[in-house]
């Protein structure tokens, strides 16, 4: 006598997130999702625009959640400390939600205004964090791209099991972040050379 769970988009995304985080994004199918939800696959079309539409909704949801997560990590901190904290949050998020994160990188809908806004929000957050260094506006944006590359690259490789050597992965991460931070400090002192490309 299980009462039928009331189905709506948020329930669907919740179950889909669980599935992709546990089995991987490529294992997500309308069949498996429908089974989890105890409905038939076609019923899902009343809520989502097919499998691809679902993945795009996951991508949006993932970016929003990542943004919140990083925001929490940034409050009350500044400078090096803020960079480390935000970076730590990023890697933690990906570890908790590998499949959801994967969706954010593989199925972002370039036309989705809400998604663009969430992405922009992350950029702004990191720009805030970098304010402490008084970088020139343009350099600051390059640095945002740099940090994002580092975070995405490291987490992606970790998720694919790409770090083969028997060496503490967390140490690799903190050294990477610290190396980048030290680099920023140096760049701050020689900004003009870097802008023109020396």
Q: Interface with DNA by CB under 7 A: which residues?
A: 4, 7-8, 28-31, 34, 38-43, 45-47, 50-52
Give CA–CA dist 8/78, Å, rounded: 40
Contact 144, 128 (CB under 8 A): no
Of 119, 122, 130, whose CA–CA distance to 77 is shortest? 130
State which of positions 118-147 bind a copy of itself (CB under 8 A).
119-120, 123, 138-139, 141-143, 145-146
Q: Name which of 14 and 179 has its Cβ closer to a copy of itself.
A: 179
Q: Please report which helix (H) or strand (E) contains residue 90, including its range.
A: helix 79-96
Q: Is 101 in the site for a copy of itself (CB under 8 A)?
A: no
Tokens for 99?
């499949």
CB 89 within 8 A of CB 77: no
Instruction: Please report how close the Cβ of residue 29 comes to DNA at its closest, in angstroms.
Output: 3
Residue 193 CA: distances (Å) to CA of 141, 161, 197:
16, 38, 6
SS3 content of the chain, % helix, strand, coil (to 5): 80, 0, 20
> Under the criterion CB under 8 A, does residue 179 sit at the interface with a copy of itself?
yes
Yes or no: say if 19 and 99 are a contact pair by the CB < 8 Å rule. Answer: yes
Binding partner at 29 among a copy of itself, DNA, none, C-beta below 5 to 8 Å by kind: DNA
**What residue 141 binds from a copy of itself, DNA, none (CB within 5 to 8 A, per partner kind)?**
a copy of itself
Half-sphere exposure of 27 (CA within 13 A, CB side): 12
CB of 109 to a copy of itself, least distance (A): 12
Binder of residue 171, out of a copy of itself, DNA, none (CB less than 5 to 8 A by kind): a copy of itself
CB of 3 to DNA, least distance (A): 9
Instruction: Specify the residue, 43 or 183, whose C-beta has the smaller distance to a copy of itself.
Output: 183
Looking at the chain, the number of H-run helices and the number of E-run strands are 9, 0
The stretch near a copy of itself (CB under 8 A) out of 11-19, 36-44, 72-80, 178-186 is 178-186
Residues forming contacts to a copy of itself in the complex (CB under 8 A) are 105-106, 108, 110, 116, 119-120, 123, 138-139, 141-143, 145-146, 148-154, 156-157, 160-165, 167, 171-172, 174-176, 178-187, 194, 197-198
């Amino acid at each position: 006598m299980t009462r039928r769970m009331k189905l709506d988009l948020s329930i669907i995304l919740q179950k889909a997130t669980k599935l992709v985080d546990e089995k991987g994004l490529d294992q997500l199918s309308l069949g498996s999702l429908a089974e989890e939800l105890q409905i038939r696959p076609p019923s899902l079309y009343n809520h989502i625009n097919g499998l691809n539409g679902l993945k795009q909704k996951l991508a949006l949801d993932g970016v929003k959640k990542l943004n919140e997560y990083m925001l929490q990590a940034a409050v009350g901190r500044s400078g090096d400390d803020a960079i480390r904290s935000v970076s730590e949050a990023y890697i933690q998020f990906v570890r908790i939600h590998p499949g959801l994160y994967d969706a954010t990188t593989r199925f972002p809908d370039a036309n989705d205004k809400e998604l663009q806004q969430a992405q922009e929000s992350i950029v702004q957050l990191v720009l805030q964090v970098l304010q402490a260094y008084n970088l020139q506006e343009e350099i600051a944006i390059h640095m945002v791209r740099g940090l994002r590359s580092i975070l995405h690259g490291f987490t992606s490789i970790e998720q694919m099991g790409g770090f083969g050597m028997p060496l503490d992965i967390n140490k690799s991460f903190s050294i990477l972040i610290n190396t980048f931070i030290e680099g920023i400090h140096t760049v701050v002192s020689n900004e003009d050379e870097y802008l023109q490309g020396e």
